[in-house]
Structure 1
Amino acid sequence: MTLDLILALTAYAFVTSITPGPNNTMLLASGVNFGFGPTFPHILGVNLGFSVMVLAVGLGAGGAFVAFPLLHELLRYGGAAYLLYLAWRIARSGGVNGAAGRAEPMTFLQAAAFQWINPKTWIMAIGAITAYTPESGYFVNILVVTLVFTLINGPCVAAWAGFGTLLQRLLARPAWLRAFNVAMALLLVGSLYPILIMAL
């Protein structure tokens, strides 16, 4: 893989990792409600879970959708249903001192598993493999793509949790925190728009 291609991949990894999506919305909400330390396993789960997904897609997991189209439909609607559930939990959360919903942040394993039903991560992984992975030396290039995403994605998703932690003081009043959580839940529901459009 050439240096120019690695730089282009780095830019792709940064833009797709830092922009809003289900992971970043949930990390922002977790930072606000629980703080950075308790959210750290969630951050690692997103980062390492997604890295494993990129590696798996590069090694052929994405081909399962071609072989089994029903799998794509199950993933789409199962993922949408789970995102709606997470939005409901976020909307009902009241923070560390009196959560009405989720009593603790997402765990490492929950966050890692979530990558497999998150529509944005599938698009990111397939885009990285198809656009930035030369066929010559394919296996080594897959490792390079995975490493680049691991190094870029981690700080990007951590920034969202960090920003949420900074917002804790501004959202100290229960009514403001509640409004924030409802807004985050609505953003998460809004992330389902592309899925709904594809279904029409």
Structure 2
Amino acid sequence: MQYELVALIAMLTSVIGTPGPNNIVLFASGLGRGYRRTLPLLLAINAGVTGIVFAAYLGASYLSKWIPVIEEYLVWVAFTFLIYMAYSMWPKNETVATEKRDEVTLPALNMFFFQVFNPKIWVIALGVISTFHATVDLLTICIVTLIVGIVLNSLWVIMGGIANSISDTSERNISKTGSLLMLLTAVYFFVY
């Protein structure tokens, strides 16, 4: 089982650590809010991803037949949701006061539920389950997914925080940057 565990970690690292909607959102949030204030968002994303892996494990054979059929619809729902999130992040006034900063950020619950519509997560979940379900138990898969996700996603938040600390950018421009990154993430769905 140790070889399977190493292979599972390697597979998850290669897919969770790469740019995608979750990591772009976490980078933008780290850019504007820092690690501690982004932690609820990071945990919500990883809880959602682990939940999708759990669901995929329970219905892998059934889901693998239907995911290609509904993938196009998932892309459109995800695209629409990302556009909504980008709009909600864009600053509404000329100034964004520090105490109002949370109004231009994404609620963690939105990102938790977004995982249901994120085609990349379904592809990851089905890939992990179809590869490892016979040799690694469900609890281990879910725990490893959660740990790898938290570690790698934390790196994206930290990179956003570092980018913020070395730049001389106003909070309004940070909010605009996060919103534009979210729009680019929406475009990603059509390129990927």
TM-score exceeds 0.5: yes
Residue of structure 1 in register with 2:185 after alignment: 188
Residue of structure 2 in register with 1:23 after alignment: 22
Pairing of 1:1-200 with structure 2 (within 5 A):
2-60=1-59, 63-64=62-63, 66=65, 71-90=70-89, 92-93=90-91, 97=97, 103-134=103-134, 141-174=137-170, 177=174, 180-181=177-178, 183-194=180-191
**Which range is displaced more, 159-168 or 173-182?**
173-182
Which letter maps to 1:3?
Q
Deviation at 1:36, TM superposition (A): 1.6
Q: Deviations over 1:140-191 (max 9, x none)?
A: 6222211111111111111111221222233333386367336523431332
Take 1:121 and 1:49, find their aligned partners in 2: how far apart are those partners? Answer: 9
Deviation at 1:35, TM superposition (A): 1.9
Take 1:88 and 1:122, find their aligned partners in 2: how far apart are those partners? Answer: 25
Larger RCO: 1 or 2 (CA < 8 Å, sep 6+) = 2
Deviation at 1:54, TM superposition (A): 0.3
Q: Deviations over 1:47-88 (max 9, x none)?
A: 111111101110006724735976544323211211222234
Q: CA 1:7/1:37 → structure 2, altered by over 3 Å: closer, same or farther? A: same
Residue of structure 2 in register with 1:198 after alignment: none
Instruction: Tell whether the 8 Å contact from 2:78 to 2:117 is kept in structure 1 after alignment.
Output: yes
**Which range is displaced more, 161-170 or 21-30?**
161-170
Structure 2 unaligned spans of 5+ = none
Q: CA 1:30/1:6 → structure 2, altered by over 3 Å: closer, same or farther? A: same
Which consecutive segments of 4 or more residues in structure 1 shift more than 6 A? 98-102
Q: Percent identity?
A: 25
Q: CA 1:97/1:35 → structure 2, altered by over 3 Å: closer, same or farther? A: farther
Structure 1 unaligned spans of 5+ = 196-200
- Count of residue pairs the alignment pairs up: 189
SS of residue matched to 2:168: coil
TM-score, normalised relative to structure 1: 0.79
Deviation at 1:116, TM superposition (A): 0.7
**Which range is displaced more, 58-67 or 14-23?**
58-67
Instruction: Tell whether the 8 Å contact from 1:45 to 1:111 is kept in structure 2 after alignment.
Output: yes
